Amino acid sequence: MTSKERVLTAFANREPDRVPINYAANAGIDARLKAHFKLAAKDEKGLRAALGVDFCGANAGYCGPRLHAEIPGRQVGMEWGEHKRWIDHETGGYWDFCDFPLQNATDEEIARWPMPSPDDYNYGAVAARCEANKEYAICVGGPGFGDIINSTGFIFGMEETLVRLVTEEPAMLAFIDRRLEIMLETKRRNIEAAGGGIDFVWMGEDLGTQIGPMIGLDLYRKVLRPRHQRVIDLAKSFNLPVMIHTCGSSSWAYEDFIEMGIGVADTLQPEAANMSPRHLKDNFGGRLAFHGGISTAGPVAFGTVAQTIADCRKTLEIMMPGGGYCFAPTHSLQDNSPTENVVAMYETARKYGRYGK
């Protein structure tokens, strides 16, 4: 099978020739992997080939003006204006969200917050990217497409966002809907520009902590679900399957996902409540396909090579039967993951993820 055929077969809850494989990583471990495989620093396609990856994205890049001023010591998003600061740790570092510029803003300041125009994206490059990667399963979107809690929290702060969602505060809901309208139009044009080259839509919404839901099902159904449905309806208008990224304990929302037309659940943090591979396979297998499940906080980060292999094999043994599983880390692989563990992780998927043995 081609990668495209492999992924779409798994998404349809059938058995492909082997489990599809995906990859995401922080800059530190990404650089170490390229060095391990003797690849150039920017050889993304070479690394995908070395790991056996079956997925690729084709999102139109932003090419408009900087809408939010730069700030010394901060990384400020050109489009949406989120602030980040660099956090060092013993194995590397990362950019973390901070400042939350609309946390104490007036309604007028929220309404005036600059947002990009759908005209300011490079749709002209999309078709060429799809053609250059046509053997892969190509997605549009990602974990931040259509999400409400996280992306709003980047600007308002998480506590402020949750309080305003519970109270259905008009100014923030208007901000959310303005952002959603722009994203929907941008992705619609992106899909059209691809000329049939897009294979699925990837959206996101983090709904859980490690121990339980982040919000109640009633709030999800009243405030978030109607807005998520618009993303799904866009995908369905192009006959594209939908995968949703959602962190933490999130299986409490999976019945709603199925009703809404979502076909694939992503992330699958096995250490979170009601998110073990066995729980997911037993309760939702055949009705949802799965993408993820290899914990970036488990053996791949803190164990030995042997423990990494054993953990990956156990997940494959549970999730593979009947199809519907794509092997991937739960989040971006972190810099604290030993290179040999990550290499073993992907070798295990290629060796033990084959059907018909």
Q: Which tens digits make up the pLDDT trace of 168-206? A: 999 999 999 999 999 999 999 999 999 999 999 999 999
E-only strand ranges, the chain: 55-57, 75-76, 83-89, 92-98, 137-141, 200-204, 242-246, 264-267, 289-294, 325-329
What confidence tier does 94 reach under pLDDT thresholds 50, 70, 90?
confident
Q: Which tens digits make up the pLDDT trace of 35-69? A: 999 999 999 999 999 999 999 999 999 999 999 99
> What is the predicted pLDDT for the residue at 89?
86
Distance of CA 327 to the CA centre of its chain: 14
**Over 80: is that where the pLDDT of 357 sits?**
no
What confidence tier does 356 reach under pLDDT thresholds 50, 70, 90?
confident
Length of the chain: 357
Written as six digits, the tokens of 40 are 């150039």
> What is the predicted pLDDT for the residue at 219?
98
Neighbour-count burial of 305, counting CB atoms closer than 10 A to its CB (0-12 exposed, 13-18 middle, 19+ buried): middle
Which uninterrupted H or E stretch holds 347? Answer: helix 339-352
> What is the predicted pLDDT for the residue at 93?
85
Pairwise CA distance, residues 31 & 335, whole Å:
10
**What is the DSSP pairing of strand 83-89 with strand 75-76?**
antiparallel
Arithmetic mean of pLDDT, 66-86: 97
Quick one: fold of 3-65+123-147+183-352? TIM Barrel (3.20.20)
Q: What is the mean pLDDT of the chain?
A: 97
Pairwise CA distance, residues 57 & 275, whole Å:
26
Q: Which tens digits make up the pLDDT trace of 270-306? A: 999 999 999 999 999 999 999 999 999 999 999 999 9
Residue of 174, 64, 180, 181 lying closest to 109 (CA atoms): 174
CA dihedral sign, ordered 227, 232, 238, 240: positive
Contacts of 106 (CB under 8 A, 6+ apart): none
Answer for the pair 138, 199: CB distance below 8 angstroms, yes or no: yes
Pairwise CA distance, residues 314 & 299, whole Å:
12
